[in-house]
Structure 1
Amino acid sequence: MAPLPTYAPMLAQLGSLPTTDENDWAVEMKWDGVRALAYVDGGAVRLMSRNAKDITAAYPELQLMAGATGGRPAVIDGEIVAFDEAGRPSFGALQPRMHQRNPLSVAELARTVPVTFLAFDILHLGDDPAIALPYTARRDLLESTLTPGFRWQVPVWFHDHAEDAFASSRRLGLEGVVCKRLTSPYRPGRRTAEWTKVKNVSAVEVVVGGWKPGAGRRAGTIGSLLLGSYDDGGRLLFVGHVGTGFTQAMLRDLHRRLAPLERPDPPFDEPVPREHARDAHWVSPVLVGEVQYAEMTGDNRLRHPSWRGLRPDREPREVRAPGGESPGASATG
């Protein structure tokens, strides 16, 4: 049997719930975790992130999924999720799992903060690609191929009733929903309106371009991060600063990661306002994070941002300003 081919995940556009031809759509819950393609082959599972990094070593408990496809090689798309004490997906709980590679630390985290792989698509089975099949056929194939286990599941999907599913996602404290055309094939590496994500909250990825020292209880560590995003011309623009949402562990980790990245001048391609530039430590723009925010102001600044965590599964050049969208608004994510 030939080796499994390599795929890039299909991506969703940020948009609104379908208002016409509602019966043409499937609705899935949007899980607040890390996207991963699982390559199940030869009695092992290889996990690849959205930006094509091998993250297998971080999640050893998912190796048991190797026996869940009946011995058939498969490529399965899904989300790696950690749950909080209330049973809700928690991006914060997942943070230490995303960065750790030390085998002893990983083993301890797997015991104390276990993850679950939530599978929602199948791209390949045996010798045959499945990407040309419509959504409904791929879901049937996925459900008949992957036997659910303790640390992997195939969540339910809903045919129509998008508004009810979206209301349920809000009531359950989930990130939102993803609406997928029933007839759509899987388009590797493409972002298309055939998959539309609708969020309950506004969150955006940002590039860390610097930091300012803290005061009081934060003396000697990071007080706030200076953030940027790229425009269509490839310029890194300053979009504001964030000083809330951090745990002490996050601050220690950020300080350790940012120290070797220091540089003498700002990485931004526009002047940073004086009040933010004063006493700033500039860094090379290689770390990507995520913030939740209230809105984007008219001068391209994030209003009331709160830090959610680093995104090692994203590349800096992917990061674009949100363009002022609000939850449910039509824009590209």
Structure 2
Amino acid sequence: MPFPVEPMLAMPGELPADREQYGLEVKWDGIRALLHLEDGVMRMTGRHGADYSRRYPEISDFGLDNVLLDGEIVALDAKGRPSFERLQHRMHLTDPDPAMMRLYPVTYLPFDLLGVAGTPLFDLPYAARRALLDELDVGAPPYFLGTSDLLAATSAQGLEGVVAKRLDSPYRPGIRAAWWIKVKNLTAREVVIGGWKPGKGRRAGGIGSLVMGAFAERGLVYVGHVGTGFTDADLERLHELLAPLEIPRSPFANAVPWRNRWVRPDLVGEVAYTMWTDDQKLRHPVWRGLRPDKFPAEVSLP
């Protein structure tokens, strides 16, 4: 069976107007992986063909053979939600020791069937592939009709969002297709700017990302970097505003990764994000703009 080098990807966007033409899946916060089971050998690959076969030995072959699956590797937290923070403890380990596997177990959630008995299923519609997948005993998470309230349900449960997939869509390895739309649950909040990381490439010589913080009893606490959502005009204006605020030392009470330029924490901005991690960092922050109507002292940790 031909083994695709890369999985098919979704476009970011909003729920489509013709929602009845789509199926909705939970967007799992993990690592995408293709699972190829052939002649008793299991091979697992990720984006760009990275070989994961030895990294996650607890992932089983489901007792199947001659099957090609697409899915997500996840590490669940105490509430049963995917935790990318927990998964990071395993992502770069080859042949992990049993202690790490006990502390940070992973599981594989298949959501598409791409081949059976040597026959590729790429040209079959999504709904047909899912029907065949559901006949296998692999613990595939369900999908829901596009008219369901799954997006609201994932928001209430603290999950990342949904992926809307056209019921008649084929599977095209390695491309980002408009047939699949990833819709994230985003929450907005204020952050204090405590520094910036110099940019590279097109942003060389200017701001690459902003260092964000919020106040707690011990002072200004680092909550992450934000490097997306800026226009060129935003970056130029921020550079003008931050240059006279530069200071020689970090204003944060906790450690901040990377080499940054520090500023007096006088400016407040707003970001959208998907969730807070267990160690109080903002996940997937996107810049929305400055908030001159807010004072830094008003911005506190949740």
Structure 2 residue 107 is the aligned partner of structure 1 residue 116: yes
Question: Secondary structure of 1:92's match?
Answer: helix
Structure 2 residue 51 is the aligned partner of structure 1 residue 54: yes
Counterpart Cα distance in 1 of 2:271 and 2:79: 25
CA contact (8 A) 1:229 1:239 kept: no
Counterpart Cα distance in 2 of 1:100 and 1:36: 16
**1:147: which partner in 2?**
137
Counterpart Cα distance in 2 of 1:38 and 1:53: 12
Counterpart Cα distance in 2 of 1:123 and 1:160: 22
Structure 2 residue 81 is the aligned partner of structure 1 residue 88: yes
Counterpart Cα distance in 2 of 1:197 and 1:229: 28
CA contact (8 A) 2:196 2:207 kept: no
Question: Secondary structure of 2:10's match?
Answer: strand
2:92 to 89, 92, 99: 99
Counterpart Cα distance in 2 of 1:235 and 1:32: 33
Q: CA RMSD in A?
A: 3.6
Instruction: Give the TM-score taking structure 2 as reference length.
Output: 0.67
Identity %: 39
2:36 to 36, 39, 46: 39
Aligned residue pair count: 238
CA contact (8 A) 2:74 2:107 kept: yes
How far did 1:177 drift? 0.4
Question: Secondary structure of 2:3's match?
Answer: coil
Counterpart Cα distance in 2 of 1:80 and 1:154: 12
CA contact (8 A) 1:28 1:158 kept: yes
**1:328: which partner in 2?**
none
AA aligned to 1:28 is E
Deviates more, 1:3-12 or 1:51-60: 3-12
More helix by share: 1
Counterpart Cα distance in 2 of 1:131 and 1:278: 56
AA aligned to 1:61 is E
Evaluate the alpha carbon distance shift between residue 324 and residue 91 of structure 1 in structure 2; reply closer, same or farther with a 3 A threshold: same
How far did 1:86 drift? 1.1
How far did 1:108 drift? 1.8
Instruction: Give the TM-score taking structure 1 as reference length.
Output: 0.61
How far did 1:37 drift? 0.8
CA contact (8 A) 1:76 1:119 kept: yes
How far did 1:17 drift? 1.0
Structure 2 residue 63 is the aligned partner of structure 1 residue 68: yes
Unmatched runs of 5 consecutive residues or more in structure 2 = 189-193, 215-235, 251-257, 261-269, 274-279, 290-302
Question: Secondary structure of 1:5's match?
Answer: coil
1:239 to 199, 205, 209: 209
More strand by share: 2
Evaluate the alpha carbon distance shift between residue 188 and residue 278 of structure 1 in structure 2; reply closer, same or farther with a 3 A threshold: farther
**1:10: which partner in 2?**
8
Counterpart Cα distance in 2 of 1:180 and 1:229: 35
How far did 1:277 drift? 9.9
Q: 1:199-214 counterparts in 2 under 5 A?
A: 199-201=184-186
Deviations 1:161-183 (A, max 9, x none): 24x11111111111000000001
Question: Secondary structure of 1:154's match?
Answer: coil
Unmatched runs of 5 consecutive residues or more in structure 1 = 204-222, 245-269, 284-292, 297-304, 310-320, 326-333
How far did 1:22 drift? 2.1
**2:118: which partner in 1?**
127
